Amino acid sequence: MSVDFEHSPRAREYLERVETFIREEINPREENYLRELLNSENVWQVSPLVEELKGKARSQGLWNLFLPDEVHGAGLSNVEYAPLAELMGRSHIASEVFNCNAPDTGNMEVLLHYGSDEQRKRWLAHLLDGEIRSAFCMTEPDVASSDATNIQARALIEGDEVVLDGVKWWCTNAGHPRCEFMIFMGLTDPHAHRYAKHSTVLVPRDTPGVSVERMLPVMGFHDAPSGHGEVRFDGVRLPLSAVIGEPGQGLAIVQSRLGPGRVHHCMRLIGLAEVALELACRRAVKRTAFGKPLANLGGNRERIAQARAAIDQARLLVLNAAWQLDVKGIKGALGAVSQIKFVVPTMAQEVIDMAIQIHGGAGLSNDLPLAGAWAAARSLRLADGPDEVHRGFVARLELAPYYSSTLDA
């Protein structure tokens, strides 16, 4: 099958419109927004600027672009949406402005595919409208959560209720004042088959027994106003109708939200790496040391060339994964998706690190977006599964034909 990554006319039109919106509406105001946020006494607040921009983006039809179905989204394929995610990754706030930010995107997909009519009406509709935010609570401090079958917080069925107990952490969006529900994954039947023990439950944020205990910084950055929270669920009682899909379907539901989401994350990181390379090049030609522009000192040209090649290689790999998702579906594309998940964050981390170095001390300050960008790239080597788990999966696929039994691979 031949692969053609030329933008379709529809994708080209969206690219132009998103690029224009970011250039004209977001870029001129973003630096000021970030400075104000940094100096604000309470960073966990809804930003009037982001709300205003959301309204404008929506009125221009630049809304829920990640959703491939035409009723709720723009009807774009993964290959068509990927370059839009790259553009959004160049800005701190763009993905939220277009209602395309994680983890709400994954939660919308879950509710679209598995939610009951009631869950869709009460929660999905408001998420699609960008009126509320949501969190996804799987990871736990007490167990190695990169193996989702380890999850031990309880989601026990008692009569016509489900009762939740346990502590989750790294729940992105938990600090957002408009985070109104959380998707909780917990153990329902310890004796069931390994892949059928867990359930996912939709938990309204104000349910008695739910408390956000603290917000966790990522290497000093709080990623406000969304943030990453540690959340306690203490005897939280909900009607059985709060279970998403069927009890025992939790693991399958969790897996299903991770295919396109990883393409989005990786393309956003490619956008971030492009910004870092641009900043590095500007600095390298303008600043002089030892009588020469930095670009002409030491191995800086080599590093810049290497960064360009690394970004372009990574982009092609991600487009390939997006294409496989489009033609083979999530199951058929799992290997390609795991490849990008361990290649792109490391690539972005290295390019951003090079840009920090070329900026000297300024690169580490908050005057430039580089330190925050480095922390974001670094964190994605863990978020959505550590590099090693994805490498292990790709190795298993690669080795499978050489083993006599698939169980050995």
Task: By CB under 6 A, tell whether 146 contacts ligand FAD.
Answer: yes
Helix (H, G, I), strand (E, B) or coil at 100: coil
Q: What residues are paired with 179 via a beta bridge?
A: 133
Give the Cα separation of 232 and 164 in Å (integer): 10
Sole binder of ligand FAD in the list 63, 114, 136, 233 (CB under 6 A): 136
Task: By CB under 6 A, tell whether 227 contacts ligand FAD.
Answer: no
**Shortest distance, position 332 Cβ to ligand FAD, whole Å:** 22
Start-end of H helices in 90-128: 94-97, 104-114, 117-119, 125-128
**Shortest distance, position 398 Cβ to ligand FAD, whole Å:** 15
- Within 48-107, which residues bind ligand FAD (CB under 6 A)? 103
Residues in Cβ contact with 35 at an 8 Å cutoff, skipping those fewer than 6 apart: none
Q: Which is nearer to ligand FAD, 147 or 312 (CB)?
A: 147
Task: By CB under 6 A, tell whether 145 contacts ligand FAD.
Answer: yes
Task: By CB under 6 A, tell whether 236 contacts ligand FAD.
Answer: no
CB contact at 8 A, 78 and 261:
no
Contact region with ligand FAD (CB under 6 A), list: 123-131, 136-144, 308-316, 338-346: 136-144
Task: By CB under 6 A, tell whether 255 contacts ligand FAD.
Answer: no
- Positive or negative, the CA dihedral 64, 68, 73, 76 is positive
Sole binder of ligand FAD in the list 79, 88, 127, 138 (CB under 6 A): 138
Closest to 100 (Cα-Cα) out of 71, 133, 138, 147: 133
**Shortest distance, position 7 Cβ to ligand FAD, whole Å:** 31
Tokens 């309470």 label which residue?
42
Report the alpha-carbon angle 328-120-105, nearest 5.
50
Give the Cα separation of 349 and 303 in Å (integer): 14
Sole binder of ligand FAD in the list 99, 105, 172, 249 (CB under 6 A): 172
Under rule CB under 6 A, how many of the chain's residues touch ligand FAD?
22
Task: By CB under 6 A, tell whether 222 contacts ligand FAD.
Answer: no
Task: By CB under 6 A, tell whether 171 contacts ligand FAD.
Answer: yes
**Shortest distance, position 399 Cβ to ligand FAD, whole Å:** 14
Task: By CB under 6 A, tell whether 388 contacts ligand FAD.
Answer: yes
CB contact at 8 A, 82 and 267:
yes
Give the Cα separation of 379 and 310 in Å (integer): 19
**Shortest distance, position 240 Cβ to ligand FAD, whole Å:** 23
Task: By CB under 6 A, tell whether 293 contacts ligand FAD.
Answer: no
**Shortest distance, position 233 Cβ to ligand FAD, whole Å:** 13
- Within 114-133, which residues bind ligand FAD (CB under 6 A)? none
Task: By CB under 6 A, tell whether 142 contacts ligand FAD.
Answer: no
**Shortest distance, position 301 Cβ to ligand FAD, whole Å:** 34
**Shortest distance, position 396 Cβ to ligand FAD, whole Å:** 10
Give the Cα separation of 405 and 244 in Å (integer): 35
Residue 114 CA, distance from chain mean position:
20
Q: Which is nearer to ligand FAD, 83 or 271 (CB)?
A: 271
**Shortest distance, position 300 Cβ to ligand FAD, whole Å:** 31
Is the backbone peptide bond immediately before 293 cis, with ω within 30 degrees of 0? Answer: no
**Shortest distance, position 408 Cβ to ligand FAD, whole Å:** 16
Task: By CB under 6 A, tell whether 167 contacts ligand FAD.
Answer: no
- Within 326-385, which residues bind ligand FAD (CB under 6 A)? 379, 382-385
Residue 355 CA, distance from chain mean position:
23
Task: By CB under 6 A, tell whether 170 contacts ligand FAD.
Answer: yes
* Phi, psi values for residue 169, rounded to 5°: -145, 175
* Torsion angle defined by CA atoms of residues 279, 281, 282 and 288, in that order, rounded to the nearest 10 degrees: 120
Report the alpha-carbon angle 122-128-129, nearest 5.
90
Closest to 100 (Cα-Cα) out of 75, 130, 64: 64
Sole binder of ligand FAD in the list 228, 257, 265, 341 (CB under 6 A): 228
Q: How far apart are the first and last CA of the chain?
A: 28
Closest to 113 (Cα-Cα) out of 245, 308, 220: 245
- Residues within the interface to ligand FAD (CB under 6 A): 103, 136-139, 144-146, 170-172, 218, 228, 379, 382-386, 388-389, 392
